[in-house]
Chain A
Amino acid sequence: MIPFDFDYFKPSAAEEAVRLYQTLREQGKRPVYFAGGTEIITLGRLNRIDTEAVIDIKGIEECQTLRLDSDDLVMGSAVTLSRLQESGFFPLLSQTVSEIADHTARNKITLGGNLCGRIYYRETALPLLLSDTEMVVAGPSGRRRVPLNSAFDGCPRLADGEFVLQLITPSVFLGLPYYTVKIRRQWEVGYPLITVAALKRAGQIRAAFSGVCLFPFRSERIEEILNDGGIEKGARVAEAVRHLPGPVSEDVEGSPDYRLYRLKNALLDVMQALKGEEHARS
């Protein structure tokens, strides 16, 4: 039960959504874009979201696109995690997604919602960051297409009034060897202690992380270290974890030192798994 009221809008075009946003903002309604809405509904119940208007983007056709072209995989931001997972177009993404929340919830949670939500794990970002994915953003100044890697600070960097319309992954990445693992405190469903996703392109391992710090990230420095064949693997891992982009998380899932311990083991597994060219699954 959400204690406060909001207006609900369901535009059918991106430009209409953006116009609505601007109008509502001018009216002081503090509008939010709403895709799966699971976070808005749950945080709303706890009064941790303050809005008087939600703009449901599920009616925008482009947000529902899920299409594999010859060059690209085009994923609408309102595509549910279940649909994404079942499509199987991008196996690393499918597997990462399959560990988010639970199956029933994934019928509602969307790609855009997970990527842009307030709950900071945003694990869909990991495969997208590794695969040079670009995002199409709609906003007051029209549309722009931008590499996610260049516009990602733990979540996509968006201007006021903008929302993610689509994510476009070059198809060359879809079939690359990958490895991903989600480690939880003890159980099989829920937030991560850490999540690691990795893939191998042109002989080089790329790796991205969630749960390690208070934001998901991909780090070129860590990748360089992991790919430094001149050093023994254990030493590479020890060096890699010295270059985390922020303090290690401490929360109910686990302590920083245990997170680091499991992270080091997971990185060893990444290197083990991605030695060969086969697809490796956790």
Chain B
Amino acid sequence: MTFDNSMYRKESLEKVTGAAKYADDYGHHPGMLQGKLVISRYAHARIVSIDTAEAMKVAGVRAVVTGQADFPLTGEEIHDRPPIAYGKVRYYGEPVAVVVADTFQAAKQGAERVVVHYDPLPVVRSPSEAIAPNAPLVHEDLARYEKIQHVFPEPNTNIADRTKIRKGDIANGWRHSEVTVEARYSFGPSDHAAMETRCATAEIRPDGQILIDSSTQAPYMIRKLMGEYFKLDPGKITVTAPLVGGAYGGKVPTQLEIVAYLASKAVGGRPVKVFNEREEDIIASPVHIGLEAKVKLGSTKDGKLQAAEMTYLFDSGAYSDKGATISRAGAVSCTGPYRIDNVWCDSLCVYTNRPYATAYRGFSHSEVLFAFERTMDLLAEKLGMDPLALRENNAVCPGDTTPTQVALNSSSIGNLPECIAKLKALMNWDEGRVHSLQNGRKVRAKGIGCIWKTSTIDTNASSGVILTYNPDGSLNLLSGLVEIGTGTKTVLARMAAERLKMDAGRIHVRMEVDTRTMPEHWKTVASRGTYMAGRAVLQATDDLIRQLKDIGSRVLVCAPDELEVGYEKVYIRDEPSLYCNISDIAFGFQHTNGNAIGGQLIGKGTFTFRHLTHLDRETGAGKPGPEWSVGAQGVEIELDTRDFSYKVLKAYSVIDVGKVLNPKAALGQVMGAMSMGLGFAGRETFVFDSKGKILNPQLRNYIPPRYGEHPEYAVEFVETPHIDAPYGARGIGEHGLIGMPAALGNALSLAAGVQLNKLPLVPERIWRTKMEGAAP
């Protein structure tokens, strides 16, 4: 068997028939109470009072839960967030109460009758405002928060964390730089806009068991964190995760689950569902991070990079949640994928009075690379060099080191030069980057960007897989990986089938996750599912094969190492006609006289990363993730130079994925990510008023790409195996997104003849930049 042809996702029929169930599709019965959030109308304000009396009078309202002093503070790295605002609100949309009622309708009625009095405070509206002297503090108690060891908040400031990268000798780098360029970049927060809004249900059973069901990417993290926050025995917490309707990082954090638990507690443990309507999902729940960046590059006259100095101010919003980790990941990949000996970077996680940030597909990489790869184009222009050639010249290769000083080899870095070469051919690069159409008003232009990504993840993250048999010899595969749309569970079945030489259709995969009965998969994030759970699958299949050979050897009267497993049989290697069917031994073998041996076979496999380290606090040196995926991407746009409207005609990706395991699914992951990247770069952002209120919390004014706006996609893969990973496959789920913002910025800057350094690139921004450039 090979991986050359495409395998349908295993949950295909469920999904096209509408039978597939997501979190809110469960619990449509009268026993399920409904929770409705009351959210803040101020971005920063002291809560003077909350009056719930009128809400309690609504028929069917059972409880109103407001923030309390004894509720724990929460957060993955820094415990800085009350699950329901207490004392003050720190962003527009922050939950200040949850109303619990018999029906969603009654809960909504109640929520409208909760009266909150606020005393407005000065609003911190951007990272640069946040770090300015005498900026209002978002967190006065930063010094007193509990935190993990490897995060470094700076008390009495708005800085939640700072990661320093000090590689080589930056002063020396500038001495060798004959040409330097420097520019600033910025964009505000935006949204994941998964089609399924977040939803969580909680129930406390009479025996103290806590049942949580959630649209989550991280059910095991919920179990762990709920245990920590509420001093509960994690063994008493069961989290289930059904199919998830799009996540993109936005369903990593633990938020509504805590609210649902508190709500359930308030009604004697009865089950309570908290469902986000779209407006809450956009502003009350965590968002895609914003960034302000300054990038300075130096090179020799012939275009060899000598020095890179970056300051990244990540806009984590009101709470640090994943913001600290994101700013750290941004430091790890603070340059583009280039050989640069002298690197200086400060990457900060900054508090503002905006919705708080969490993971977003690409996890800091599209953000940082927008700034870096735009600067590469500036440098190429100043050098008078073709921008693709500049990247070819400096492409990272085996033997080079990363910004965190990890030495790279072919397995860990892949082949960027080949990606660049393929992109060059695919884009017909040599025909020129820009040309005017006949009427002269429209200009077509091409822009590119190179990408790389590694994962900055918990160094002890692990994944487990269990394989059990059915009487017919088919297998059940149990993994704690959540099916969020990436098709990873189908790939896991495919891997097991390949190793066991059987039909993947005979491997039944449990799509829903249940932390009580299924082995843990750390989190379904960071394009790590195939690697982590894949390794666990291979170990589990090897475990099964060993057991099959053991029992087979006794049935077939031979040594175990003379046996092969395949085609649902155990057979003698050089005499395949001598075999036993797995269905006859999977639950033990029974002799004709009734004696039985063996018992049921259960395969288990686990995986954890090897040799990952924390970063050194002063230099950033360390190995935060296993391998890298590299790639080169581009877009071709057509700009109307009168109106500054434009269309993306074509979008290109060449990515070294190590090994393609399901071709059409892999292509879909890349195209979908490209579409999302073009949305982020070209149109998506929150619009804030001067007081930090978000003016576009609906899908009719926050507008993701729609059908018909999609470009023509050209996607190719390079396959340089990552030899540690199953079949050599590298992460792929995020990478299509990463280069799109820079490529679009580069193409439009070229076409418009101005430097476009802010996102999103809506026509008005191009027009305004043009006007400002033309002003005397």
CB–CB under 8 A between A and B in the complex? yes
Question: Whose C-beta in chain A lies nearest to the C-beta of B699?
Answer: A190
B102-110, B542-550, B575-583 - the one binding chain A: B102-110
Chain A, residues 131-166, CB within 8 Å of chain B (1/0): the string is: 000000000000000000000000000000000000
Contact (Cβ within 8 A) A3 B709? no
**B687: contacting residue among A186, A187, A252, CB under 8 A:** A252
B interface, by DSSP: helix, strand, loop or mixed? loop
Contact (Cβ within 8 A) B763 A186? yes
Bound-state Cα–Cα, A274 to B645, Å: 23
**Which residues of the other chain, A, contact B706 by a CB distance below 8 angstroms?**
187-189
Contact (Cβ within 8 A) A1 B700? no
**Chain B CB within 8 A of A272 CB:** no
Bound-state Cα–Cα, A186 to B763, Å: 7
Contact (Cβ within 8 A) B105 A3? yes
**Which residues of the other chain, B, contact A3 by a CB distance below 8 angstroms?**
105, 108-109, 112
Bound-state Cα–Cα, A195 to B390, Å: 45
**Chain A CB within 8 A of B178 CB:** no
Q: How far is the CB of B198 from chain A (nearest CB, A)?
A: 17
**Which residues of the other chain, B, contact A251 by a CB distance below 8 angstroms?**
695
Interface members, chain A 10-67 (any B CB < 8 Å): 45-47
Question: Whose C-beta in chain A lies nearest to the C-beta of B112?
Answer: A47
Q: Contacts A47-B112, A258-B767 hold; do A186 and B683 have CB atoms under 8 A apart?
A: yes
Contact (Cβ within 8 A) B709 A187? yes
Contact (Cβ within 8 A) A190 B703? yes
Q: How far is the CB of A234 from chain B (nearest CB, A)?
A: 13
Bound-state Cα–Cα, A277 to B345, Å: 64
Contact (Cβ within 8 A) B767 A252? no
Contact (Cβ within 8 A) B695 A252? yes
**Which residues of the other chain, B, contact A188 by a CB distance below 8 angstroms?**
706, 708-709
**Chain B CB within 8 A of A185 CB:** yes
**Chain B CB within 8 A of A117 CB:** no
Interface members, chain B 97-137 (any A CB < 8 Å): 104-105, 108-109, 112
**B767: contacting residue among A4, A46, A190, A261, CB under 8 A:** A261
**Chain A CB within 8 A of B156 CB:** no
Contacts between the two chains (Cβ within 8 Å), count:
57
Contact (Cβ within 8 A) A258 B768? yes
Bound-state Cα–Cα, A254 to B764, Å: 7
Interface centre among A3, A187, A191 (most CB of B within 10 A): A3
Q: How far is the CB of A261 from chain B (nearest CB, A)?
A: 6
Interface members, chain A 241-262 (any B CB < 8 Å): 251-255, 258, 261-262
**Chain B CB within 8 A of A204 CB:** no
Chain B, residues 639-669, CB within 8 Å of chain A (1/0): the string is: 0001101000000000000000000000000
Contact (Cβ within 8 A) A190 B701? yes
Q: How far is the CB of B62 from chain A (nearest CB, A)?
A: 16
**Chain B CB within 8 A of A265 CB:** yes
Question: Whose C-beta in chain A lies nearest to the C-beta of B704?
Answer: A187
**Which residues of the other chain, B, contact A1 by a CB distance below 8 angstroms?**
104-105, 108
Interface members, chain B 703-732 (any A CB < 8 Å): 703, 705-706, 708-709
Bound-state Cα–Cα, A46 to B687, Å: 20
Q: Contacts A3-B112, A188-B706 hold; do A258 and B764 have CB atoms under 8 A apart?
A: yes
**Which residues of the other chain, A, contact B695 by a CB distance below 8 angstroms?**
251-252
**Which residues of the other chain, A, contact B767 by a CB distance below 8 angstroms?**
258, 261
Question: Whose C-beta in chain A lies nearest to the C-beta of B684?
Answer: A186
Contact (Cβ within 8 A) A186 B762? yes
**Which residues of the other chain, A, contact B642 by a CB distance below 8 angstroms?**
265
**B700: contacting residue among A2, A190, A258, CB under 8 A:** A190
Q: How far is the CB of B756 from chain A (nearest CB, A)?
A: 14
Contact (Cβ within 8 A) B682 A186? yes
Contact (Cβ within 8 A) B700 A252? no
Bound-state Cα–Cα, A26 to B760, Å: 52
**Which residues of the other chain, B, contact A185 by a CB distance below 8 angstroms?**
683, 703, 762-764
**Which residues of the other chain, B, contact A254 by a CB distance below 8 angstroms?**
764
Question: Whose C-beta in chain B lies nearest to the C-beta of A119?
Answer: B700
**Chain A CB within 8 A of B696 CB:** yes
Question: Whose C-beta in chain A lies nearest to the C-beta of B705?
Answer: A187
**Which residues of the other chain, B, contact A189 by a CB distance below 8 angstroms?**
703, 706
Bound-state Cα–Cα, A47 to B695, Å: 17
**Which residues of the other chain, B, contact A253 by a CB distance below 8 angstroms?**
701
Bound-state Cα–Cα, A235 to B370, Å: 41
**Which residues of the other chain, B, contact A258 by a CB distance below 8 angstroms?**
764, 767-768
**Which residues of the other chain, B, contact A47 by a CB distance below 8 angstroms?**
108, 112
**Which residues of the other chain, B, contact A46 by a CB distance below 8 angstroms?**
279
**B643: contacting residue among A2, A187, A190, A262, CB under 8 A:** A262
**Which residues of the other chain, B, contact A261 by a CB distance below 8 angstroms?**
767
Q: How far is the CB of A270 from chain B (nearest CB, A)?
A: 14
Bound-state Cα–Cα, A254 to B765, Å: 10
Contact (Cβ within 8 A) B105 A252? no
Bound-state Cα–Cα, A20 to B767, Å: 53
**Which residues of the other chain, A, contact B109 by a CB distance below 8 angstroms?**
3-4
**Which residues of the other chain, A, contact B700 by a CB distance below 8 angstroms?**
190-191
Interface centre among A2, A4, A185, A265 (most CB of B within 10 A): A185
Question: Whose C-beta in chain A lies nearest to the C-beta of B689?
Answer: A252
Q: How far is the CB of A64 from chain B (nearest CB, A)?
A: 28
Contact (Cβ within 8 A) A187 B703? yes
Bound-state Cα–Cα, A4 to B703, Å: 29
Question: Whose C-beta in chain B lies nearest to the C-beta of A266?
Answer: B643
Interface centre among B696, B763, B767 (most CB of A within 10 A): B763
Bound-state Cα–Cα, A190 to B699, Å: 9
**Which residues of the other chain, A, contact B687 by a CB distance below 8 angstroms?**
252
Q: How far is the CB of A271 from chain B (nearest CB, A)?
A: 15
Question: Whose C-beta in chain A lies nearest to the C-beta of B706?
Answer: A189
Q: Contacts A186-B683, A189-B703 hold; do A255 and B105 have CB atoms under 8 A apart?
A: no
Contact (Cβ within 8 A) B768 A252? no
Chain A, residues 160-201, CB within 8 Å of chain B (1/0): the string is: 000000000000000000000001011111110000000000
Q: Contacts A1-B105, A255-B764, A261-B767 hold; do A191 and B701 have CB atoms under 8 A apart?
A: yes
Q: How far is the CB of A179 from chain B (nearest CB, A)?
A: 16
Question: Whose C-beta in chain B lies nearest to the C-beta of A46?
Answer: B279
Interface members, chain A 187-240 (any B CB < 8 Å): 187-191
Question: Whose C-beta in chain B lies nearest to the C-beta of A101?
Answer: B700
Bound-state Cα–Cα, A46 to B39, Å: 13
Contact (Cβ within 8 A) A252 B762? no
Q: How far is the CB of B262 from chain A (nearest CB, A)?
A: 22
Contact (Cβ within 8 A) A187 B764? no
**Which residues of the other chain, A, contact B763 by a CB distance below 8 angstroms?**
185-186
Q: How far is the CB of A103 from chain B (nearest CB, A)?
A: 11
Interface centre among A4, A47, A187, A265 (most CB of B within 10 A): A187
Q: How far is the CB of A211 from chain B (nearest CB, A)?
A: 13
Q: How far is the CB of B764 from chain A (nearest CB, A)?
A: 4
**Which residues of the other chain, A, contact B682 by a CB distance below 8 angstroms?**
186
Interface centre among B700, B705, B764 (most CB of A within 10 A): B764
Bound-state Cα–Cα, A189 to B709, Å: 10
Q: How far is the CB of A48 from chain B (nearest CB, A)?
A: 11
Q: How far is the CB of A249 from chain B (nearest CB, A)?
A: 13
Bound-state Cα–Cα, A208 to B757, Å: 36
Q: Could you list some 10 contacts between A and B, CB below 8 A?
A: A1-B105, A185-B763, A185-B764, A187-B703, A188-B708, A189-B703, A190-B700, A252-B696, A258-B768, A265-B643
Q: A190-B701, A252-B696, A254-B764 are in contact. List 18 more A-B contacts (CB 8 A).
A: A3-B105, A3-B108, A3-B109, A47-B112, A185-B683, A185-B703, A185-B764, A186-B682, A187-B705, A188-B708, A188-B709, A189-B703, A191-B700, A191-B701, A252-B687, A252-B695, A255-B764, A265-B642
A-B pairs, top 9 by smallest CB distance, nearest first, are A3-B108, A258-B764, A252-B687, A186-B683, A186-B762, A252-B696, A3-B109, A187-B703, A252-B701
